[in-house]
Amino acid sequence: MTTLTVALLQLAPPGPELSVNLALGEAACRRAGAMGADIALFPEMWSNGYSCSVPDGFARGDRYRHPSLWDEASAAPRPRAVWLGEPITRDSPFVTRFRELAAELEMAIALTYLERWDGAPRNTLSLIDRHGRLVLTYAKVHTCVFDLPEAALTPGEGFEVCALDTAVGEVMTGAMICYDREFPESARALMLAGAEIVLTPNACELEINRLSQFRSRAGENMTGMAMANYAGPGWGHSVAHDGIAFADGRSRDTLVVEAGEAAGVYPAVFDLDALRDYRRRETWGDAFRRPAAYRSLTGREVRDPFVRLGLEGGPVPGRSLP
């Protein structure tokens, strides 16, 4: 049996201090390495702990609802959120240290951070292979533009996959971040790009509906899915599914591991031989899709009752109103 182990780093949310988060992250990676992990996966935006400052007096408005439901307060201009912790670049000392650590431990690290960018920063994952090389950098596509603080981010523009060199050979690996997983198109795009394993940093409550969505993404794409969330009351539940919904003609549970709420490093062991065999012979994924019938999926116009506006009162980026 050829296995791949993804260590889900379910850590307590840190503050915005880069040096502190580097030390905490290094300790977690060393623990994952001692467990024999092939990949260590951080929760979302580890470099600053997803820390931000929202102006006093700010109350959640109704921009995430249809404009007909707005009141006077929700139609007012939105205040700006300020991200705490300095945005960093891919060649920063923070990223460089984790590259050195990955080479030392001979373990890939899926590192998350607030990335410096032209204009607003990005919510980014960089996948570092076991040789310390940056092999994939992905920015969150589905930023939460309906609310602060994520409205103060530059969204990514697509989903990519890399051939990750591991001790058991190349594994086609992709990534999505938090809200991305609530759109079936995200995991579908990664599957179509060849992903066998999808890494998913997260930073929100993982309740029954989000957990069920994630299970579905694995099954419908015959793809291994691994998600790391922050620890704490109401949070936690880092989870992995192997995407193998049937075996020997019978339904089976795709769950590999699900954590509770406590902080810890949770290994998710994927049987790559079984997954690859399943993908060769079963009916999901790209086997019987009919793309010509899906033209509306790439339309840009938003129609009622789904009309929403972005932070500035205009269409959500990438979309247009009737």
β-bridge partners, 40: 7, 109
Q: Which domain holds residue 41?
A: 3-51+85-291
Q: Is residue 60 part of a domain?
A: no
Report cis status (omega within 30 of 0) of the bond before 305: yes
The H or E element spanning position 114 is strand 108-115
Q: Is 78 helix (H, G, I), strand (E, B) or coil?
A: coil
Residue 53 vs residue 169, higher pLDDT: 169
Question: For residue 95, what pLDDT is reported?
Answer: 98
State pTM to two decimals.
Answer: 0.95
Q: What is the mean pLDDT of residues 152-172?
A: 96
Buried/exposed code over 117-130 (b: 16+ C-beta within 10 A; e: otherwise): eeeebbbbbbbbbb
Q: Is residue 309 part of a domain?
A: no
Q: Is residue 315 part of a domain?
A: no
Q: What is the mean pLDDT of residues 77-87?
A: 77
> Can you give the CATH number for the domain in which 215 is found?
3.60.110.10
Q: Is residue 72 part of a domain?
A: no
Q: Is residue 206 part of a domain?
A: yes
The pLDDT of residue 180 is above 60? yes
Contact 39, 126 (CB under 8 A): no
Q: Is residue 321 part of a domain?
A: no
Q: What is the mean pLDDT of residues 127-140?
A: 98
Provide the percentage of residues in the chain whose pLDDT is more than 70: 93
Q: Is 226 helix (H, G, I), strand (E, B) or coil?
A: strand
Count of structural domains within the chain:
1
CA atoms within 13 A on the CB side of 276: 10
Residue 141: pLDDT band (50, 70, 90) is: very high
Contact 219, 241 (CB under 8 A): yes
Q: Is the CA virtual torsion 161, 110, 142, 230 positive or negative?
A: positive
The pLDDT of residue 70 is above 90? no
Q: Is residue 286 part of a domain?
A: yes
Q: What is the mean pLDDT of residues 249-253?
A: 95
Q: Is residue 306 part of a domain?
A: no
pLDDT, tens digit, for every residue of 108-118?
999 999 999 99
Other residues' Cβ atoms within 10 Å of the Cβ of residue 105: 19
Strand 197-201, strand 246-247: pairing: unpaired
